[in-house]
Every structure is written in structure tokens, then in C-alpha cells.
């Protein structure tokens, strides 16, 4: 499963469809694992217990973000760029040079957080919790750098296989951990979910003695890019991650945290879907930048954005439509109060289509823009949380989060179109939105008119059918899209490949 650091020249010849297919499969495995773990925790520990675990995981994820200095982003971006330029011999040296520094930072960060966990607003944290928290941070960090390497070398098939195993380990670890250690045992599951890539990350030091180290100009670019993306990621965390949990936990209770987190977890599924399908874009666009092929960059950005809209819009609006029926089925009747939060957050998650644009900005080494705008968004988010969360709790956090994220996406689109001079598919945006709203309305009608246990199973195919008809009528899929998507469908089992291909050809019949 583990791969050597030597990057094959043929990597650059792989099609974007193939990369996206494997990236999507990797993300689906991770997505299903996280959802299963959330359900296990909610049903095993209840709202209060889930709220506590969500808070601890937020600390672990925030610590991992702070200590890595953005080195994993540089590994993905510049490894792909070197491949695009044909500088294959330098890839091993770049990987080892970055990994050594990342490893030292990860160990130091995990140690500091583990020793100081009781002072990090973790009231009553035991020695076991502190140890598991440090182990979770280290495991997650090393797993992240290995997946960054696989993304940069565009070996998404390996990421997919690792994620399948890791997701199974995360679910099993959570169930066993909770059974043995109670609340603290949930951290065992999150740690188990990144053990495999963390261990395989040490293979990046293989043949280090013969590596060609990055020269001084490249090292300067690496550090500049790393620090810019690091700062952008930190301030973006105030807008895109679960920063609101800190304020809800402080002003309200663990139960209120759970009411926010339950909805946010489901909304994050949409973001994860977008992430898993856009995971190949940074590496691919970086490779095109290395080749200085502006036309291919424009084509990839426009097509990727349109297809991402087609994917995430119906999930966002359709999920919100069936949320009153779906959420209690997953988490249990104790979480009914989280339904309005989840519905609003799920609708707001339609902005995940912009992940392709973010990949473009990073690939063009314009991360400074993201850092500046994220800082402005972070300041706004903090002010909004301080003013609104104490009074309105999770409901206020939901609306402030949604409004700020929408504003950030609008600003990003303006920058790409006006400053970077790449066209945005505004027409496709409007037509896809209409199709998704029609699909969601269908799902809502079925769920509300059929007050039975089979209402949800009936609503899903009905909404899918309406969405497909709307796509066909509004001509949202063209021949080039069909060709690209067929490359992705080719990764499906034969029993699913044929009907999926026929369905795609029918949808595009009027294009």
C-alpha cells in the first residue's frame, strides 16, 4: 500500500477524470466513516456527551492546523508543479525536506497541547484525555502530510484505499473506545482513523541520502507559500471550521454545542462531497500552471465549477427539505431541536461549489488574497459571535456563519473574474439553482404528504427524477461533460457502470 517517494513521470499524463474518480472514492470513504462515528457518538453518549467530544475534537483539529505552518500545502502544490515541469529527480528531495520539518512541528505541537490540555478550557480533563488528545493531534498531523504527498504526486488510488481502511478503523475504534473508556474513548476512534497514513508517512524518508534537495530560490518560495497558506487557513478557520463551538460552549452548554454540531456535521457532508471531488484540482491546476497553459486552466476551472454546482446544489437544498425526517432517524429523538439549525446550515453549504475556485487561487500562488479576505471574515465572525451567540445560542451562530460564508464566496468570485481574468459560469449557476430548488420542493412535498415510514425512501428517487429532468430541459450537461464524467463512471463496478452511463447520456440528450 505504501509507496516510495520516487514520483513517476507518467503521473502527469493521467486524466483529470481519473484523478477525480479516485479522489472522490477516497473522500466517500472518509465521509461515510465520519458520519457513522457521529451517529455512534450521538446515540451512545447523548447530546451532552456528544457536545463534549465535539469540543475536544475541535481543540485537536485547531491545534493540528496551528502547528503545521502550512507545509503540507506546499508539498501538494510544488510536488505537482515539479512534475508538470518534468523535474522528477527533485521530487524526492522536496518531499523529504518538507517532511522532516513537518514531523518536528507535529511532535512538538502534540506535546504542548497534551501537557497543557487542562488549561485549554478543557475543564476536568483527566490525564487519559490529555494523552489521547495529544495522540490524536500527532496521528492526524502525520496522516495529513502523507495524504498531501499522495495528492501532490497524484496517487489518489492509494488515498482511496487508505481511507477505506482508516474509516473502518475509526468506526471500530470509536465503538470499542466508548465501551471501554466512555466519553474519552471516542478520541480513540478519531486517532485510529489516521494511524495507517501516519505510519506510512515515515516512508517519505526512504532513500533520503540520495535526494536532490530544493535549491535556495525554491526554498524561499516554499516558505512564503507555506506561511501564506498557513495564515489563510488559520483565519479561515474562524469562518469555515467550527470556531462557533468555542463561544457556544462558553456562553451556553454542552447540549447547545450538540444542537449546533449535529446540524454542522450534516452540512459538512456537503462540503466533504465538494472536497472529495475537488481534491484533484489543486494538483492538476498546479501542474497546468507549471506548463503555463492558461486555456487549459480556464477550461478546467469553468467545467469543474459547473459540475461541482450540479453535484452539491441538490444535496444542499434537498437535504434541507427532508431534514425534519432525516435528522431524528440518524441521531435519535433527543436531537429534534437541531432540525432548524441543520436545515439552514445545509442550505448555506451550497457555496461549496467554490472549492474549485479556491484550488485555482492556491495553484496560481495567490494565497495572499485568501489570507487577507479570511482575516476580514475572521474579525467579522468573532465580532458577530461575541454579540449574537450569548443571546441566541446555536441559532444565532447558524445565521452569522451562513451570512459570512456567503459574503466570502461572493468576494472570491469577484477576485477570480476581475483580477485573475478567468470567466465564471454565471448562467450555469442560475439554471442549476432552479433545478435544485425544484428537486428540493419535490422531496418536501413527498415527505409531508406521505406521513409514513417510507416517505423518505420515496422522496429521494422522486427528487432525483425531477432534478434529472430539469438538467435535461435546461441543458446543463454538454458532450464534453459526458466524456469527462464517463471517465469517472468507468471506475464504478460493471453492474453500476452501464445504467449510470445510460442515465448520463439521457440527461445530456438535449445538450
Residue-wise pLDDT for 203-242, tens only, equals 888 777 666 788 888 888 888 888 878 877 777 666 666 7
Residue 2 lies in a domain: no
Count of structural domains, the chain: 1
What is the per-residue pLDDT across 446-493, written as a single tens digit (0 to 9) for each?
Answer: 988 887 778 888 898 999 999 999 999 998 888 777 776 666 665 555
The C-alpha cell 442550505 sits at 347
Report the phi/psi class of residue 450: left, alpha or beta, with left for phi > 0 and alpha for psi in -120 to 50. Answer: beta
Residue 216 neighbours by CB distance under 10 Å: 7
In a domain? residue 242 = yes
Kindly give the residue spans of alpha helices, DSSP state H, lying in 201-349.
Answer: 216-240, 244-251, 254-278, 281-291, 294-321, 323-331, 339-348
pLDDT of residue 288 exceeding 70: yes
Model confidence over 325-346: pLDDT tens digits?
888 888 888 888 899 999 999 9
Residues 6+ apart with CB under 8 A from 111: 134
Q: Burial of 152 by CB count in 10 Å (0-12 exposed, 13-18 middle, 19+ buried)?
A: buried
**Structure-model confidence comparison of residues 294 and 8, the more confident one:** 294
- pLDDT tens-digit map of 18-47: 555 555 666 666 777 777 888 888 888 888
Write the DSSP symbol of residue 242.
S
Q: What is the pLDDT of residue 2?
A: 41
Structural domain that includes position 165: 15-424
Find the helix or strand (DSSP H, E) in which 101 lies.
Answer: helix 89-116
**Max CA pair span of the chain:** 69
CA distance 246 to 122: 11
158, pLDDT greater than 70: yes
407, part of any domain? yes
Cα separation of 99 and 159, whole Å?
18
Closest CA to 59 of 226, 251, 241: 241
Asked if residue 491 belongs to a domain, the reply is no
- pTM, full prediction: 0.67
Domain assignment present for 362 = yes
| Residue 434 covered by a domain | no
pLDDT at 175 over 80: yes
Q: Please provide the average confidence, as pLDDT, over all residues in the chain.
A: 81
Sign of CA dihedral 290, 294, 300, 306: positive
Q: How many residues are present in the chain?
A: 511
Copy the grid coordinates of residue 70. Answer: 502550512
3-state secondary structure of 83: helix
**What is the structure's pLDDT at 7?**
41
Q: Show the cell assigned to 501.
A: 452511463
Contact criterion met (CB below 8 Å) for 398 and 339: no
pLDDT confidence of residue 8: 38
Q: Does residue 455 form part of some domain?
A: no
Residue 9's pLDDT is what?
Answer: 37
Can you tell me whether residue 278 is helix, strand or coil?
helix
pLDDT tens digits, residue range 100-142?
A: 999 999 998 888 877 776 555 444 567 778 888 888 889 988 9
H or E element in which residue 113 lies:
helix 89-116
Task: Tell me which residue has cell 485555482.
Answer: 360
End-to-end CA distance of the chain: 42
Look at residue 293 in the predicted model and tell me its pLDDT. Answer: 83
In angstroms, rounded to a whole number, what is the distance separating the alpha carbons of residues 80 and 481? 24
78 falls within a domain: yes
Question: 277 near 317, Cβ under 8 Å?
Answer: no
- Residue 412: burial class (beta carbons within 10 Å; 0-12, 13-18, 19+): buried
Amino acid at each position: 500500500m505504501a509507496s516510495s517517494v520516487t514520483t513517476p513521470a507518467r503521473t502527469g499524463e493521467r486524466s483529470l477524470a481519473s484523478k477525480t474518480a479516485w479522489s472522490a472514492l477516497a473522500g466517500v470513504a472518509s465521509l461515510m466513516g465520519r458520519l457513522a462515528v457521529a451517529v455512534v457518538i450521538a446515540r451512545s453518549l447523548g447530546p451532552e456527551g456528544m457536545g463534549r467530544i465535539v469540543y475536544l475534537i475541535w481543540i485537536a483539529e485547531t491545534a493540528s492546523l496551528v502547528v503545521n505552518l502550512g507545509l503540507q500545502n506546499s508539498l501538494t502544490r510544488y510536488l505537482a508543479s515539479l512534475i508538470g515541469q518534468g523535474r522528477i529527480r527533485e521530487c524526492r528531495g522536496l518531499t523529504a525536506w518538507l517532511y522532516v520539518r513537518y514531523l518536528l512541528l507535529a511532535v512538538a505541537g502534540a506535546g504542548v497541547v497534551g501537557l497543557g490540555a487542562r488549561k485549554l478550557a478543557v475543564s476536568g480533563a483527566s490525564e487519559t484525555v490529555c494523552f489521547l488528545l495529544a495522540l490524536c493531534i500527532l496521528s492526524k498531523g502525520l496522516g495529513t502530510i502523507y495524504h498531501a504527498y499522495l495528492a501532490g504526486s497524484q496517487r489518489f488510488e492509494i488515498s482511496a484505499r487508505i481511507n477505506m481502511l482508516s474509516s473502518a478503523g475509526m468506526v471500530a475504534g470509536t465503538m470499542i473506545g466508548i465501551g471501554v473508556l466512555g466519553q474519552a474513548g471516542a478520541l480513540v476512534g478519531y486517532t485510529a482513523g489516521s494511524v495507517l497514513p501516519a505510519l506510512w508517512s515515515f516512508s517519505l524518508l526512504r532513500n533520503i541520502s540520495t535526494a536532490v534537495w530544493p535549491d535556495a530560490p525554491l526554498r524561499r518560495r516554499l516558505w512564503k507559500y507555506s506561511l501564506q497558506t498557513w495564515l489563510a487557513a488559520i483565519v479561515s478557520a474562524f469562518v469555515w471550521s467550527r470556531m462557533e463551538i468555542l463561544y457556544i460552549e462558553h456562553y451556553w452548554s454542552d447540549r447547545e454545542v450538540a444542537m449546533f454540531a449535529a446540524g454542522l456535521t450534516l452540512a459538512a457532508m456537503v462540503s466533504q462531497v465538494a472536497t472529495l471531488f475537488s481534491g484533484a484540482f489543486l494538483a492538476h491546476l498546479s501542474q497546468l500552471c507549471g506548463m503555463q497553459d492558461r486555456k487549459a486552466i480556464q477550461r478546467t476551472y469553468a467545467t469543474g465549477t459547473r459540475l461541482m454546482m450540479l453535484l452539491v446544489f441538490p444535496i444542499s437544498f434537498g437535504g434541507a427539505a427532508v431534514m425534519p425526517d432525516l435528522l431524528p432517524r440518524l441521531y435519535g429523538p433527543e436531537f429534534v431541536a437541531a432540525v432548524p439549525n441543520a436545515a439552514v446550515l445545509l442550505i448555506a453549504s451550497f457555496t461549496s461549489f467554490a472549492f474549485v475556485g479556491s484550488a485555482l487561487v492556491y495553484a496560481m500562488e495567490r494565497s495572499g488574497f485568501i489570507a487577507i479576505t479570511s482575516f476580514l471574515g475572521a474579525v467579522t465572525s468573532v465580532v458577530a459571535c461575541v454579540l449574537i451567540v450569548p443571546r441566541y445560542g446555536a441559532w444565532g451562530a447558524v445565521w452569522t456563519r451562513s451570512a459570512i460564508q456567503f459574503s466570502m464566496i461572493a468576494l472570491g468570485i469577484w477576485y477570480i473574474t476581475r483580477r485573475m481574468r478567468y470567466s465564471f459560469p454565471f448562467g450555469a449557476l442560475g439554471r442549476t439553482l432552479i433545478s435544485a430548488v425544484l428537486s428540493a420542493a419535490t422531496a418536501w412535498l413527498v415527505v409531508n404528504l406521505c406521513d409514513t415510514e417510507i416517505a423518505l425512501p420515496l422522496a429521494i428517487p422522486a427528487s432525483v427524477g425531477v432534478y434529472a429532468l430539469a438538467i435535461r430541459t435546461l441543458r446543463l450537461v454538454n458532450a464534453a461533460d459526458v466524456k469527462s464524467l464517463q471517465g469517472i463512471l468507468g471506475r464504478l463496478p460493471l453492474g453500476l457502470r452501464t445504467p449510470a452511463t445510460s442515465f448520463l447520456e439521457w440527461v445530456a440528450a438535449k445538450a
